[in-house]
Chain A
């Protein structure tokens, strides 16, 4: 193991540049450890975002050697065999400063895809019994573990080319709700995801699936939305 790492970090906003730092190499060192070392021991003005450090909150995602990753769950040994690390902000999102991006467009698209649960009952009614082995529930469960880290959104070529595209996370959330029997969103949600920027813009490149740290499959969820919206369109339940 090398004694030191050469680490290039993005500094500044959109028109910034990479600056290189030397960081001591440690056993079981994560990329987040490296960024934290720079901020605490070399340059306290470095801006980055993290919270849990254990892969639960999804706030520490950055571009590591060209790929979006959770920095807290990425070991340096896995990505920096040559002893070099390049860490930048997530792609496809406005850079606020250094390694911190503005997540607002990401969450706005989540809203546009109607990713909010629409209840069918009040708290005064009995809780509906849903069998875990119900086929629709299984489809909903397949993507329920998304924590909105933005890795899939940063990895998506279609988001890069089409600013209106909702992106994998928002559409995966919509697919979860479409399959949730307790949800009342129904055809209004299908209408929302069938429009411009919706599921039909996906090219199925599958970068989202390849890089999702939760091993979810947004491409499959979007394919499900394509099938479901097409069926609804042909039945006249939604408009073009």
Chain B
């Protein structure tokens, strides 16, 4: 792994620590309160705060996972760094697209 990828992967991991904790806390809150999907969507629709929060989460997870997948491919497959990097980039973009779709679905 290069220095730049290492820093990006660690930085996104550090960023996701509080994001995951808040995400889990929100899940507990919603289930404990017995909130329905309609209740949750009524709070998230039009919310810039939730859009930013989960948008950041999706971006961090996509970058973090793509770098990890690149490492797995370079070490455990015959792919070279360049090809593994391209495949991992596509994987990261796929995650980002799926994540963005989910975020937009709950905030729009």
Contact = CB atoms under 8 A, between A and B. Distances in A.
A209 interface: no
Interface in B1-38: 1-7, 10
A238 B5 CA distance: 14
A196 interface: yes
Interface residues of B, number: 12
Interface string B34-61: 0000000000000000000000000000
A162 B2 contact: no
Contact of B4 (A161, A226, A240): A240
B75 A200 contact: no
Contact of A234 (B2, B7, B76): B7
B85 to A, nearest CB: 12
Contact of B3 (A158, A161, A162, A200): A200
A200 B6 contact: yes
A238 B3 CA distance: 9
Contacts of B5: 200
Given A162-B75, A194-B2, A195-B3, 4 more contacts: A162-B74, A196-B1, A226-B6, A233-B7
Interface of A: 158, 161-162, 194-196, 200-201, 226, 229-230, 233-234, 238-240
